Amino acid sequence: NNAPVPANQNIASSLSQANTRGTRASPTLQLVYVVTHHGIMAPMLTFPTNPYQPDDTKYWPNGPGQLTQIGRMQMYKLGQKFRSMYDGFLDQTYQAKEFKANSFINTRAFDTAELFLAGLYPPRGFQVWKKDLLWQPIAVFPTLYDHEDILNFTIKSTCPRFRAAQLDSLMKADKLYNPSLSNFMNAIVPYTGIDLEFYKKLYGDLYRQQIVSTVWHTLKFIADNGLPLPDWATKAYPEPAISLRTMT
């Protein structure tokens, strides 16, 4: 729990050196856009035999779909990484007029942004407001502040033509990868305890793709957080689950 403090102190020390310049802070650089996914999180989707159910606070104390401690450190270090890359282009002190952060509207996205900024802009000089807390508040604006539903590809927010094209693409993929999907269903699903009839009723012809996504999602976040996978999971993750999810 005390690890972040020395890391911050190291950054503060390195930034005090004169004439530091990051590896990407070229003299001709004018503007930088950075887009990142959220950090490692607890699973939201799951299957009945998962030994680490999303609502089990022993494994996921922050709750389903929220950043874990590993994910928090991951995003904090990413901010540090970008500081090392763009130091010199970015002022060492945060200036609101020169920098703006936006986030998709959910908790893990906002948390990701705040952690990234903590690594990118540790307070310096007059910005230090508490000696033993090398952190400062930096505004993160919701995407709706500037644009309506930006980066929000949910069913309700998409246009009918986009949804129709997406559905057509998924149906074609289901046929194209039918043998692989069938093999996955036969070899993996029996271990999961998944109710096939429930998925068929909810997702129709695309139920197999949703099952692949559920298994991939669950096993990925178990592995990302350093928890032991069930013995049978080696038959599914990382392959063929990753490839199937990518293809479909």
Question: For the residues of 211-231, what is the DSSP string, one character each?
Answer: HHHHHHHHHHHHHHTTPPPPG
Which residues contact residue 86 at a Cβ distance below 8 angstroms, ignoring those fewer than 6 apart?
Answer: 22, 24, 25, 32
The model's confidence at residue 151, banded by pLDDT at 50, 70 and 90, is: low
Predicted model pTM: 0.83
Amino acid identity at 151: L
Structure tokens at 214: 């559920």
Beta bridge partners of 102: 141
Q: Kindly list the distances between the CA atom of residue 53 and the CA atoms of 71, 73, 134, 159, 172, in Å, as whole numbers in the listed order.
A: 18, 23, 35, 35, 33
Closest CA to 240 of 169, 196, 190, 185: 185
Which residues contact residue 222 at a Cβ distance below 8 angstroms, ignoring those fewer than 6 apart?
Answer: 43, 50, 52, 229, 233
Mean pLDDT of 27-31: 91
Q: Tell me how far apart the alpha carbons of residues 237 and 220 are, in angstroms, rounded to a whole number.
A: 8
Beta bridge partners of 67: 41
The model's confidence at residue 189, banded by pLDDT at 50, 70 and 90, is: very high
Residues of the chain with pLDDT > 90: what percent?
77
Note whether 103 and 141 are within 8 A (CB).
yes
Task: Supply the angle between the helices 69-86 and 107-120 in degrees, to the nearest 10.
Answer: 40
pLDDT for the residue numbered 161: 86
pLDDT for the residue numbered 149: 53
CB atoms within 10 A of CB 29: 12
The model's confidence at residue 188, banded by pLDDT at 50, 70 and 90, is: very high
pLDDT for the residue numbered 33: 92
Greatest alpha-carbon pair distance for the chain in Å reads 65
Q: Tell me how far apart the alpha carbons of residues 116 and 100 are, in angstroms, rounded to a whole number.
A: 13
Mean pLDDT of 221-242: 97
Residue 14 has pLDDT above 50, yes or no: no
Structure tokens at 134: 């090398």
Q: Tell me how far apart the alpha carbons of residues 70 and 73 are, in angstroms, rounded to a whole number.
A: 5
pLDDT for the residue numbered 129: 96
Average pLDDT value for the chain: 88
Mean pLDDT of 59-69: 98
Sorted by where each starts, the structural domains of the chain and their CATH numbers stand as: 4-145 (3.40.50.1240), 160-247 (no CATH)
Residue 84 has pLDDT above 90, yes or no: yes
Amino acid identity at 140: V
- For the segment 87-129, what is each residue's pLDDT rounded down to a tens digit? 999 999 999 999 999 998 899 999 999 999 999 999 999 999 9
Q: Tell me how far apart the alpha carbons of residues 219 and 230 are, in angstroms, rounded to a whole number.
A: 9
- For the segment 65-82, what is each residue's pLDDT rounded down to a tens digit? 999 999 999 999 999 999
Mean pLDDT of 136-142: 94
pLDDT for the residue numbered 235: 95
The model's confidence at residue 142, banded by pLDDT at 50, 70 and 90, is: confident
